Structure 1
């Protein structure tokens, strides 16, 4: 349904805001006036995943921590779930990665930027009593490296900013983003590539060769008159082709056949991103080759 990405400095009040958002959404979804689909609201955080604050002390352990969060996020995302990711999410590249994962599932996205000054965050950090504190140098480093969200980039939009002085979250803005926001299609570059069947290469070669033989046989029988010709091939294949009024040499047909096969071999071996099913049957290959010859045979 929706991915809500919480972002902000360490100890800026992100968990408090995540809980406020969750409580409000659950209340609104249970209201008698709500007539939409049945939805769950979930929070995902380092604490829920038992990721220790010490994981951010060095880059290697931090990378593993982000991987744990991302994997859990992918597991929790669903059409019937509003997922709130309560973490720093301070690297814009990581927010973009999360955004792409949400788009793959055609979920709405929303970024909530929890704002507090570095001085306040450091003060609140010293007042913690839950034993979940950052090392002072780690806290300074994370604040210095923080990459602020921007409403100007698609992966941070829509962006809802909540300053520390606000007692509550902007409920109407959040509800609108969760329930009415645009659902963007997946990036074409991240979609699964459709593979050709295992016998596609054999079909391509065999059908192209058979069509060349049929053209040469027809030309021999008709004396090279050209025009619209119905070719007889193996089985029930009888493609129609428009031939030029001249004798076409075997070497010319073989050259065009090699060009055609080379182009389509690439689609077979690397896959295709064409929309819908891609037909590699003999009939389809024959029709494609006929069109290719009609375009490339000179009068």
Structure 2
């Protein structure tokens, strides 16, 4: 249904804001006037994944920690869930990655920027008694590296900014964003590449060769009196699919047909070996390949 990304300095009050958002959303979902789909509100955080604050001390341990968070996020996202990701999310590239994952599932998105001054973050971090404080040098490093969200970029938009002095979150705006906001379709870069079946290359080569032979047989059967026009080509003695092709009123040589066949196979071989980004399932059946080859021949055979 939706992904809410929380972002802010370490020890800036992000978890408190995440709980406030969760409480507001659950209250709206339980309201008797709510007539939408049944939804659950879930918070995902470093603490729930047992990611220690020490993971952010070094880049070699921080990267797998972000990977664990991203993997858990992908597992929990869904059309029946409003997922609140309560973590630093301080790198814009990581927020973009999360945004793309949400778009791939056609979820609504929004970003909540929890603002606190560096001084307050240091104060609140040093006052923690739960064993979840950042090391002072790690805190300073994360503050220096923090990449602030911007409403001008699509992966941070819509953006809701909450300062340390705000008593509550902008609940109405967040509710509208996650229940009535625009659902952006996945772009080409976020779509999984459709792979062809293992026998697609053999089907491509065999079907094109069969049609070339069928065209030559039709010309030979006419004994030089062929005047062109539409003819039906048989793929095999058992196939009921007979693609029709309109041929020019001249003698077509085998070398010409072989050349066009090689060009056709070369064009489609790349889609088979590397995958295709065409929308929907790509049909590599014998009948579909035959229809494509016939259309290719009609386009390239000159009168």
TM interval, shorter chain, is: over 0.9
Deviation of the 1:233 alpha carbon: 4.4
3-state SS of 2:196 partner: coil
Distance 1:221 1:24, change over 3 A: same
Counterpart secondary structure, 1:66: helix
How many Å separate the matches in 1 of 2:2 and 2:141?
31
Instruction: Summarize deviations over 1:72-107 as a string: whole Å, max 9, x none.
Output: 111221211111111110000110111111112211
Shift of 1:232: 4.2
Aligned positions, number:
299
Residue pairs, 1:36-75, within 5 angstroms? 36-75=36-75
Which of 233, 242, 245 does residue 241 from structure 1 map onto?
A: 245
TM-score, length basis structure 2 = 0.94
Matched residues in 1 for 2:241 and 2:37: separation? 51
C-alpha separation between the residues in 1 aligned to 2:201 and 2:291? 16
Question: Cα distance, 1:229 vs. partner?
Answer: 2.7
Deviation at 1:131, TM superposition (A): 2.4
Provide, for residues 192-219 of structure 1, a one-character-per-residue CA deviation record: whole Å limited to 9, x for no partner: 2222223222222122111111211222
Change in 2 beyond 3 A, CA 1:162/1:240: same
Structure 1 range deviating more: 251-260 or 275-284: 275-284
> What is the CA–CA distance in structure 1 between the aligned matches of 2:252 and 2:187, rounded to whole Å?
45
Question: Superposition pairs for residues 129-148 of structure 1, below 5 Å?
Answer: 129-148=129-148
Give the counterpart of 1:290 among 281, 294, 300.
294
Q: Which runs of 5+ in 1 are unaligned?
A: none
Question: Aligned match of 2:259 in 245, 255, 258?
Answer: 255
The DSSP-based 3-state class of the residue aligned with 1:72 is helix
- TM-score normalised according to structure 1 size: 0.95
C-alpha distance in 2 between matches for 1:64 and 1:284: 45
Deviations 1:230-279 (A, max 9, x none): 33442234332222222211111111111111111222222222223322
How do 1:1-299 and structure 2 match up within 5 A? 1-222=1-222, 223=224, 224-235=226-237, 236-299=240-303
Q: Partners of 2:60 and 2:68 in 1: how far apart? A: 13
* Residues 101 and 190, structure 2, Cα contact 8 Å, conserved in 1: no
- 1:162 counterpart SS class: strand
Distance 1:210 1:118, change over 3 A: same
